[in-house]
Structure 1
Amino acid sequence: MASNDHDERGFFGEQPMLPVKRDTVREKPHYLGHRDRLRERFSAAGDALADYELLELLLFRLIPRSDTKPVAKALLARFGTLAEILGAPVNLLQEVKGIGPAVALDLKIIAASAKRMARGEISGREVLSSWNQVLDYCRAAMAFEAREQFRILFLDKKNVLIADEVQQTGTVDHTPVYPREVIKRALELSATALILVHNHPSGDPTPSRADIDMTKTIVDVAKPLGISVHDHIIIGKKGYASMKGLLLI
């Protein structure tokens, strides 16, 4: 059985308990008062707290028996923002001192939960009237992926989401997209409209010439079949680009 000696969270449940001397006075760790104060601030201010404070609150639960402030500072120094920390791959998280496999996995579980919540905001709704929620979901799902992904939101005749699928995953700067496969899948789902989405791991969401040409091809193939392409959204770390907004489709 694997040893728990190196569990960075501080849970040593399998360790034998040492006898406690009755005359020993244990001082509370210095960070406990800080934790109580930060929890009180969150109760009063909610999500108005800064990234590093929210991150500390998360780490309180994940690393309950250590001072988490240095770990929070190290994570932010490495990745920049809370969103980028949650979007970082497990292997890179573990390069930060104080983050081992257990906490790295816990952070990814939190990230997956956030994505699921964002997706819930658009499920079963008329998507075009929930456009900000669509953008929030796409950013949560794709902005910090290390490789390009091509995602399709399939909509019915009322523009309600039928399916959300990643059709292709490529390299750091290219994803192969096959218009024939896009339309084939739309017909299988009886979709009457599409929103195309892909990410640029470079961070710059500006459409490339290849992006524009591929989108026009899909629009041209879909139109005779009664399938509309509402938009092609490109997601970057710092923002997004809408081809419809740029008058490119």
Structure 2
Amino acid sequence: MISIDNEMVEYKKLFCPDQLKQIYFECALHLNDLNELVEYFPNLKRINIKFYGGPVRYDGPNLSNLKIFEFSVDEWYDDHNAFHVMDFCPSLESAYINGESDDEFANMAQKNYSLRNLVIETVSIRLSNLAWPFLRKLLPKYPNLHNLAIRGEDAIRDIHVKELVKLLPKVELFDFRRCDNITRRSADFLSEYCRESNRSIKIYYDCEEEPIDWPKLDTPRESIVYGFDFMKHCFYKRFSCLPHLIDE
């Protein structure tokens, strides 16, 4: 495992092929650099990386062993293709996408049956470009999704929650805190829906008095955490507070 705060320009001199399983980048890379990185380190299980340079196609090898993908866009580039890259991650179980816009290269016909946990965070107004029509097409790509968080995004509203439960037949938890347009109406609908359908779906949203048993957002950052558990260590944090390394 390695955490880097500048470009890893000579990684072939520093590491043997296949050696690394986790990489955390503080610096921003161009998406084209990922191709060579994955080819040299095919056993990556987690990667946390920030990209710059506008939308380009990923044309490298599959990230066949990747379980956790954490992707951020440099604040000066509001178009990128995280969901397109996820199409090359057949074993991906958890993803945290920060600052993404509608992805022109994502293959909407391709399914990922491994993904269980997805966080989409767009806290910058300038980067809030995801639209509900795109999300409606995107989310069915992940039919076994259990936990979905969308934070700081205007695309999700109360009127969309009814459709979400149909798009995601396995969903068990929605975290819509910091979504101004998700209100008590969604919680009331889900309560009634679960009674009628015999499903169990939790929802967290911005309410006046948040129950004390809800998991807290913005927990303190820990550089190293223990146990390869995305829900425990990553799901409820801002992207900037994700751990550098997860010791298995």
TM score, norm. by length of structure 1: 0.36
Higher strand share: 2
- Which structure has the larger Rg over C-alpha atoms? 1
Higher helix share: 1
